[in-house]
């Protein structure tokens, strides 16, 4: 069986990836895909949990999902600014890992401003990673990703002008791994049950497509298929 090409997932804070798209990552690692998480702060501005605690929580959550993880120091939690230097740093990281698929926070400006700002920079970095003449990246070969998809951390952050791709995450082992990864962020559960919230969203998406749970992803570019074979299932026909 050919190896699945790698997936790279970006989050602004130590818990974003797990809460927003952890079920998809558990599904992909179970299928044999290499998944790498890139966290762009250590949650130092948060009300609960120290940076050291949140780093350890993220590392444990990544292990539960079967993924690897690294932290990229940009401007720090709640200080993220859109800068060309950051975009190039992200493009360098993309060239280093050479993923086929990239997941990034939604571009919708909602809740924490770091989310949409990181999403915009990942979008731009995905494009710059392709440019062979970029002088800052001349020591790394150019790399083109097959797809960039966005995830939303809340219903309000879901793009209204894009039809979602619904990923069925209803397999018990997948839901178990996702739930465990969310609960690994114990410092963030002191005031709100975020796992229950995200699982409820997944159940609603599942009801849309005839499964017990699903996660919505939003493509940055049109999806291209070699034939009609992958299009045998639609959300309204089950």
The CATH number given to whatever domain includes residue 56 is 3.40.50.10320
Amino acid 1: pLDDT: 36
Residue 72: name the closest of 101, 98, 96, 108 by CA: 96
Bridge partners (DSSP) listed for residue 35: 7
Residue 196 lies in a domain: yes
Amino acid 102: pLDDT: 98
Residue 93 lies in a domain: yes
Residue 181: name the closest of 29, 6, 8, 2 by CA: 29
Residue 237 lies in a domain: no
pLDDT tens, residue order, the chain (238 aa): 347 899 999 999 999 999 999 999 999 999 999 999 999 999 888 888 899 999 999 999 999 999 999 999 999 989 999 999 999 999 999 999 999 999 999 999 977 999 999 999 999 999 999 999 999 999 999 999 999 999 999 999 999 998 999 999 999 999 999 999 999 999 999 989 999 999 999 999 999 999 999 999 999 999 999 998 888 778 776 5
Amino acid 2: pLDDT: 47
d(CA 56, CA 148): 28
Residue 231 lies in a domain: no
Amino acid 92: pLDDT: 97
Residue 236 lies in a domain: no
What is the DSSP pairing of strand 147-151 with strand 101-105?
Answer: parallel
Residue 11 in 3-state DSSP? Answer: strand
Per the structure, how many domains does the chain have? 1
pTM for this entry: 0.95
Residue 120 lies in a domain: yes
Amino acid 46: pLDDT: 82
Q: Give the contacts of 53 (CB within 8 A, at least 6 positions apart).
A: 187
96: containing domain? 7-220
Cα 17 to Cα 138, 219, 230: the distances in Å are 30, 17, 27
Amino acid 121: pLDDT: 98
d(CA 134, CA 130): 9
């Amino acid at each position: 069986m050919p190896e699945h090409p790698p997936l790279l997932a970006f989050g602004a804070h130590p818990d974003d990836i797990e809460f927003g798209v952890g079920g998809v990552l558990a599904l992909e690692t179970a299928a044999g895909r290499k998944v790498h998480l890139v966290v762009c702060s250590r949650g130092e501005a948060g009300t609960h949990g120290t940076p050291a605690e949140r780093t350890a929580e993220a590392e444990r959550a990544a292990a539960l999902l079967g993924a690897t993880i690294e932290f990229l120091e940009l401007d720090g939690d709640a200080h993220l600014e859109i800068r060309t230097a950051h975009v190039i740093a992200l493009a360098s990281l993309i060239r280093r890992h050479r993923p086929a698929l990239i997941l990034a926070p939604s571009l919708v400006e909602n809740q924490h401003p770091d989310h949409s700002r990181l999403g915009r920079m990942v979008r731009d970095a995905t494009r710059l990673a392709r440019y062979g003449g970029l002088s800052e990246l001349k020591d790394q070969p150019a790399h083109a990703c097959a797809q960039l998809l966005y995830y939303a951390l809340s219903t309000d952050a879901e793009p209204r002008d894009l039809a979602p791709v619904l990923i069925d995450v209803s397999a018990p082992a997948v839901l178990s791994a996702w739930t465990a990864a969310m609960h690994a962020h114990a410092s963030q559960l002191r005031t709100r049950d975020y796992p229950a919230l995200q699982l409820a969203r997944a159940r609603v998406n599942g009801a849309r497509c005839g499964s017990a749970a699903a996660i919505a992803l939003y493509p940055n570019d049109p999806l291209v298929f070699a034939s009609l074979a992958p299009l045998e299932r639609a959300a309204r026909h089950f």
